[in-house]
Structure formats: C-alpha cells, structure tokens
Structure 1
C-alpha cells in the first residue's frame, strides 16, 4: 500500500475482530488525516481484507491474548518492536492489557506520542489464589512501567481510574480521563421498524458475551431455573463464544445446560443484530472487571431494556426503572425478580427500550465517543 507524507498513526488491539467490530469507525475517521496502521494477534484473512478496505495497513502479531508463556510473549514483543520500527509512527493508541503493556513499550520513547485505553481490569484482579496474586503483581509492575511513558490514559469507567491511582500504577497527577464506552454506530445497530412487541406471548431474554463464569452465567441459569417452575411464556437465550480465560465455560458445559431446556444456546455469530432484534430484554449479570460492556451499548442502540449488575462499567448504562434494572452481583434471586417483572409486565418493554435508545444516542454514539478520544489526544482536526 502506498503511503503519503501524512503523519502515521498505529492502533494496537487485543484481538483481531475488534479492529472492525469495535474500532472500525475510529480507524475510518483517522484515515482522513493519517496514514493508519492497525495490528492485533493472529489476524485472519477476512479481518485483514475488511481493515484494508478502510484504507488501513493491517499487521498481524503473535501475542496470545490470554497466554501466560513469557518466552512466547518475549518473541512476540521482539517481532512487534521490529514492525513498529519499520512503521515509525507518530501516534500510538493501544487497548487491552497486552497491547497496552507490550505494545506501548515496543513503541519506544523518541518522537512517538503514546496513549493507553484501559478497557477493564480483567478477571486476574479478583482472584486470590497464589497464582493469581503472582500474576497480578507482575501485571501491575508492567503496567506501571508502560504507563509511565505515555502522553495520556483513557479509562472507560471512573472506578478503574481510581483503582490505578490507589494501586500506584499511575500517579494521581497522570494525564488521564474517563470516556465511557467504545460507542456504537447507531446507523448499523438499530431496531427493526416492523416489529410490534406490544402483545407478547413469549418474552425472549438475550445474553451475549464470552462464555466465562464471571459474566454471570451460573446466576442466570439459576434464576431461569427458578422462573421455569412458574412460567412457560419466556425463553432465555445465550449467544457467545468459548474463551480460554481461566473462568471459561466449555462448549460441552453450555450444551449440557442447553439440554436441560432451561436455557437455549444459540452458538456464535459474526453479526448479533438479527438475534438482538428478535429479543425483547437484554440481560448481562456480569461481575467481570468490565470497562463498559460493548454488548450492552449495542442492545441499547437496538432499543432493548437492560438487566445488568450494579458493577463498575455496567451501572453507567442503566437509569433504574427507566431503561432497565441493576441487580447485585452474584445474586440469582434478585435477577429472577427483575426478569419476572418483564414476564408479568410486558408493556414495559417498549417504553424502557425507547429510553435505552435515547440514552445510547446521548452517551454511546460512536461519533461522539471518537470525538472525545481525538480531543483528549489533541487531534482536534480529525
């Protein structure tokens, strides 16, 4: 690909599909003023073609997103460092743990303006096993080293910003800000105008996330099992993919849950819109260390009421009783009660869905989110 004399911008992501699904509009906007490069682990051909169709040079790297092999990480680090030296970027923005730590360190110090986007702490900061504590200690030290040489740090919720300061990962004088959410393309995620959900004979609850316990799958299963004793006019659907995360639930375990008839497992998809459009209420009882869940933003853009947890990154998406409900983490009983509300009061689905869409337009329009990122990075002409 031929490049002009524009300044160069490098985006470093944590997994290949996120370059398009989460950051496609950002990349597209950047191409107006920059020669843009994007890298993520093990980029497949389909993703590469989609990224390059935006006018972006796409580079695959060898970081394993959840891997803990230091030798593999060191080799991947050296390879990425060579790639970055060849690019000579003027700006670098990295998101998720390994890109922020290794990607920004590989970017060097001279004449590069580096920014970090913290999209959540991850599950490693919750567990108290010896292994988890050891990994957490190492990650904190690496974070501290990497973030000491950046121009700015973006958090997706204020709790994470406070945590990083209290744990002395960053200084309280660091140039940091909170920009809630990744944002969604409201023209792409929109509800079907032909649907009429006023007279529902069966309420469909939809869960979309990686298949890990901390996303609240055990609590959702238990709440649904309790409701099945009294109601048969509802269905709970799970859409998600197996994840090698330590809290991961295997496909066999999910299929066994599906076989009980309590929940319906829909498998995986590259396009959640038909499933979201067919659903009535979005439910995510997570206690994972989220930034601000993308799937909730998508559900709001598609006019769905939200049931999620009173948890950092989630509580920012719900005005209690207006567009949905917040439930305590790890509490199947309250989750059951909130789900029951929609079963018994289906007329609330439409009004709460409209409130979700209004909130998405105000807070989670991807163009507004990207403008705030550009403003923080002092890229005001983009």
Structure 2
C-alpha cells in the first residue's frame, strides 16, 4: 500500500516560459486514495502541471499542497526527492541491465535483504508477474514492462503517483487491458494517483474524477459522467466526446432547432444558442422526428455513421448499428432522445448549422 496516501491541492498555479503563458491559474483537488485524470489536448499545460507536482518545475505563482503541507509556492519549495511523489513515465523507463526484481527493488530504502525480497515478491504478485523476478525487461511484453514500472513506482511507497500518458506506447488492444488492470491495482493499493492523458475514453472510464485542462486552466473538474453529460462550457463539450451542434433559440428552458423543440439539460439564458446533441441521442424515427434525406453512409465496423440533410438543408450525423437498412437517397426521420445541452451563441456567431464537430 502507498505510504500515507495524501490529498493533493493545487491553487492558482501559473507558469510561463519566457513570453509564453503555459498555465494560467490552475485549481485542482485530488482526494486521498483516488485517481484523477488530467485530460486535455497537446500543448494545454498538462505535462507542465505534472512537472510542478513532481518538483521538477517551480510555479510562478500559486501553491501546491500534498497531504495538507505546502510543497511549492508561497515561499516554500520542497525538493522533488522529499515529496514522496512517484512518477510512471510514458515508456516505463526500466533499467535494461537490471532484472525485474532489481528494477522493483531500486527505489526501496532502509530495508534488509530478506525484507526487500519479501516486498518485491508482494509487488510482483500484486501486478500479476509472479515468477518473472529474474527476467530482463527485454524479455517482457510491452504490457508486462508497464506493470513492472508500476510496481517499481509503488514499491517506493509514494504518497502520490503521477502517470504521464503511461499507455500511449501500447497498441490499441493491449492498451485497454493494461490500463484497466493498472487502475484496479491503484485502487487496491489505495494510491492517490494523477493520470495525465489526452485520451477521452481513458479518462472517462478509469478515473474517479476528470479535470479538463484547456488553454492552461482547469475548465471543469467533476465525476466522469458529469463532465460528459453536463459539460461546463461549449469547449468542454466539444473536447469530451463527439457533438452534433445546431444553432437555435432557447425559450423557457426549451431549445428550438431544425431537429425540433427539446428540453435543455442545464440552466441556459433565453436567446440565441449553440444547441449540442450527442450522436447517440439521434436515431432513425419511424413516424416522428425531423424529416431528412440520407446523403452518405460510412461503415466503421461496430457502427455506421449516417449523414443526413434535413428538409431545411441542415446537415447532421447520427450513429446506428451496421445492419441499419437505409441507403443513400432514402427519405427518413431523425428522432432525438432525452434532453440537450445549450450554450449562449458566441459574440458575432452566425446563425447557421454547425453540423458535427469531433471531440
């Protein structure tokens, strides 16, 4: 188990490199023993935030507390080696000349030989690698190497573990299996973990909370379902998942668009708005819904994307099962399930259909 798993609190952290502002006032709270995903596009400041937490960079302003004690900012700077913060990098970074057991034992301090051997065996069992202590890293698969890297990080008994895109180097099929196993291990060991990723599915499926970082600030931090179902801003909605966006009007809590009138999920002021639907909300209707014509059909294995032009010319895209029996040129109806999201139309925004935006 991690030693004294600790809460992490970041308040008002800023960081610039020369004239470039990278972090513009980050606020973040990670409860002890939980996993938080820091999610954002490349260049948004995720890695800089991780380096500040680890002690490799100092913030220009703001504070970082671990376990209630200040470690950075406000005249306090605790060296990286005294923070008890572990780091699991993207590539694992195992020592090639050491055995698996030697890699795991590397960060253990103050233990006798017998105690160290017992601890190594404990971590090997926890990460599912019993019997491989004498193997060299180059004899392991990519997934096994990541497990060793995790065991090595946890064996140092960190109060907080930072994971920097730890699954990016794995192929798609292996990535899903390994990331689920590793998060299960983190929960079993009650480790406070911060996972830095640009992968929405990874963040939503693995973390207890998700902090969406856009342009150097935390745009929203909440449970995964909350971030997806009730994104705080249009930018968050666009980044977390796919969107179908239409311009329309909100009146008394109801959004009116080319797809009809639908209740708005969150409080939005009356007036022109960007109305957001998730693709899975749209389906073919039998005798209700907006009338349209199928203009294209794209096959993606587990689903098809149906490109529809509504009667007024508005383009929308909906997803369906591969067996959906419609062909290009067919007339059809588009039905909307559930409530919708709506955000004030940006200043100078044109009242035109926005179609589908990838998340």
TM over 0.5, yes or no? no
Structure having the higher helix fraction is 1
Q: Is the radius of gyration larger for structure 1 or structure 2?
A: 2
What's the TM-score once normalised by structure 2's chain length?
A: 0.29
Structure having the higher strand fraction is 2
Q: Which has the higher contact order (CA 8 A, sep 6+)?
A: 2
